[in-house]
Structure 1
């Protein structure tokens, strides 16, 4: 079905409470990790997003059955692996799907997975995934973009990641959980999604030490049991709504958040002049009547400023008088938002992975999202303009933001998505 564009008429302040959805980026590897158990697993806090449906299709292909047992609760059961091959038609839809290699390898002893696909802003190599699994004892070959892995026994040994990689850390963990070997991962990611994966696996009986540090020790176990687990809130969505509040010079309360996961975003907004009030599971963002200041930002791995919030921050800074500099060495090609923001009047010049932003006033224009976070940048920009902005490429927004127009309306935005017109069956 053709998705109709998102319409936004800006110029309004936002107010009220917005409940942050469960973390998409934590849910995806946890759904994959459920393949490691032959018993049922129930996950609470699974956002109903297109990326989640994509990973469920992939899990179903290899043997998982699933059922929604609540609005955001999902039961998965994989009695056996029925296919060790993850085909390109499924893996090509999303980069995160490559981590199914480690899970199938652990459960079935062999796996074949195609090179991943996903966002449009450049390659993201999987060399660290492959090097880690080889160093731990897996045999891996590549043929025509398909990676085939096999293990003769339990994985074991030590691997030092050459760079911080969330997906590579996920894959190595998943491959190492079952068996009787001991694996040590050094320079492992400390990202919130990695910590949540480890906590989930340990709740099923895995023995993984070092969550939240750069050194992980995984002692293999014969099998994992079933169980229930609640997934963390989505820090990227929370960051997006925090920035939307700042861009519209509003006061907004975010519920279902982990403030400790948002310190880098809170610090930058605070440096700009926004008030951030934290409590246990909520944040109040207050930018009313503020003369916001320009800032410089360089993205880093967690706990640094997240690359997944860089386009949204660029949209905000395009409305702040003065000169801001935004650098994204984490994903240097994440720049598809720039040309579309320029259509809305943004003064942004690009050199390599650096944006120099001269803030000013934006205006409404027809724009198109080329990836998920670029779409978020565009709806933030649209909220600041007086006219009507039409955002195409809604399929990308649906990958990361659940019921976006409805939830924007609930906090005072004038946002809508027309229903598609169905042809008359008699025509």
Structure 2
């Protein structure tokens, strides 16, 4: 079992190139099932969630191989239609494979999806979209089964915006008969990238206006290549790491245009940044202002995935800050760990009050992905050494957080305690 050791107090500085986007690549991997040739995903992050999705695709008959950070997916002989819960239970986004399996084989059976325990995260909107397109859904023995003779285009009005449900509907609609109109869709950048990938495979998709996507079904798709964009959440995480240490960082390949909500909060805290020749140059030396009130929202609002990293920064900022979490009800699991470090935090339902204080290093345990990264951030700002358990949660979304932070002159390393 691995542990991350952090010696706090170093002022981070330097340049870094961020890995490919986790939230972009996973639905794209699922989308590759809709064609019967080879797709190449360039700049694919080698993280645990990609490995989990790759294992699932192997079960279905996909042949994969890597060349550096380029992932090759040969989907010419995919006959499998069922994925056991031992695989789907690892990650919630596995549920979107239903739409891809229906589009390819008219049938899909999956165990209930899992992932980080940060809230209920129901899949009712996913099933609503598939039923609207003509799928027959049954649930029994811990499995979800979807069947159809032929998916048919339909107008779908989502009662709430959902990234996963929007992706599900897109995957099912591109090979459906006729036209599908999706309204009140999620607007996250990952949706745009999925649409671009599907279009490169031959899908006919049009963004008519914000929150509305029109899909004209086609009879077949073909293989393609695509460069996976930089991960906006990892970018924000490393900016938070530099901010907590009052350092500076240059992100060589930052996803410009995708981080306005985060950067606005960063600026209000006293941070400075500029875009220059495709680079994001951020200086956190002046961070000293609390955040009176912030709430997480669907894109383009402040992302829930950066709430925990920001919370870790705010524990080091003088004054009182408040955050309301509107997306996942269990995002504040990290707070009990931060209080071990001396943080002054008060949780009341969906809101948290943070009073800035001096942190001290101690032993901590990650219980979910973004909270684990936030513990690393807090450890970088703390006095003394911190040891963080639960590393596999962090590896789900960060290729090598220790390596990346060492590029920024952090004193951090991984230790395998079984080998000691």
In the superposition, the TM-score normalised over structure 2's length comes to: 0.97
Q: How does 1:306-345 map to 2 (within 5 A)?
A: 306-345=303-342
Aligned to 1:37: 35
Q: Which moved more, 1:291-300 or 1:305-314?
A: 291-300
* In 2, Cα distance between equivalents of 1:192 and 1:357: 30
Q: What do the CA deviations read for 1:395-420 (whole angstroms, capped 9, x no partner)? A: 01111111111211111100011245
Aligned to 2:159, what secondary structure does the other structure show?
coil
Contact 2:254 2:278 survives alignment (8 Å): yes
Q: Unmatched 5+ residue regions in structure 1?
A: none
* In 1, Cα distance between equivalents of 2:257 and 2:116: 28
Q: What do the CA deviations read for 1:102-126 (whole angstroms, capped 9, x no partner)? A: 0001000111112101112222100
Aligned to 1:326, what secondary structure does the other structure show?
strand
Aligned to 1:54: 52
Contact 1:121 1:334 survives alignment (8 Å): yes
Aligned to 2:120: 123
Contact 1:372 1:397 survives alignment (8 Å): yes
* In 2, Cα distance between equivalents of 1:174 and 1:113: 16
Aligned to 1:279: 276
Q: What is the CA distance between 1:289 and its match in structure 2?
A: 4.7
- Quickly say closer, same or farther: Cα 1:162–1:297, change in 2 above 3 A: same
Contact 2:153 2:179 survives alignment (8 Å): yes
Match 2:19 to one of 18, 21, 42 = 21
Aligned to 2:331, what secondary structure does the other structure show?
coil
- Quickly say closer, same or farther: Cα 1:328–1:280, change in 2 above 3 A: farther
* In 1, Cα distance between equivalents of 2:57 and 2:145: 18
Contact 1:195 1:212 survives alignment (8 Å): no
- Quickly say closer, same or farther: Cα 1:212–1:20, change in 2 above 3 A: farther
Q: Which moved more, 1:152-161 or 1:386-395?
A: 152-161
Q: How does 1:7-406 map to 2 (within 5 A)?
A: 7-69=5-67, 71-210=68-207, 213-406=210-403
Q: What do the CA deviations read for 1:179-218 (whole angstroms, capped 9, x no partner)? A: 4321111101111111110000001100011187311111
Q: Unmatched 5+ residue regions in structure 2?
A: none
* In 1, Cα distance between equivalents of 2:23 and 2:208: 17
Contact 1:245 1:251 survives alignment (8 Å): yes
Q: Which moved more, 1:91-100 or 1:170-179?
A: 170-179
Q: What do the CA deviations read for 1:305-355 (whole angstroms, capped 9, x no partner)? A: 000000111111111111100011111211111100011111111111100
Q: What is the CA distance between 1:293 and its match in structure 2?
A: 3.4
Q: What do the CA deviations read for 1:251-290 (whole angstroms, capped 9, x no partner)? A: 1111111121011110001011100111353211112254
- Quickly say closer, same or farther: Cα 1:217–1:114, change in 2 above 3 A: same
Contact 2:120 2:328 survives alignment (8 Å): no
In the superposition, the TM-score normalised over structure 1's length comes to: 0.96
Contact 2:151 2:172 survives alignment (8 Å): no
Contact 2:3 2:416 survives alignment (8 Å): no
The number of aligned residues is: 420
* In 2, Cα distance between equivalents of 1:313 and 1:365: 20
* In 1, Cα distance between equivalents of 2:330 and 2:43: 31
Contact 1:49 1:399 survives alignment (8 Å): yes
Q: What is the CA distance between 1:291 and its match in structure 2?
A: 3.0
- Quickly say closer, same or farther: Cα 1:228–1:158, change in 2 above 3 A: same
* In 1, Cα distance between equivalents of 2:212 and 2:291: 37
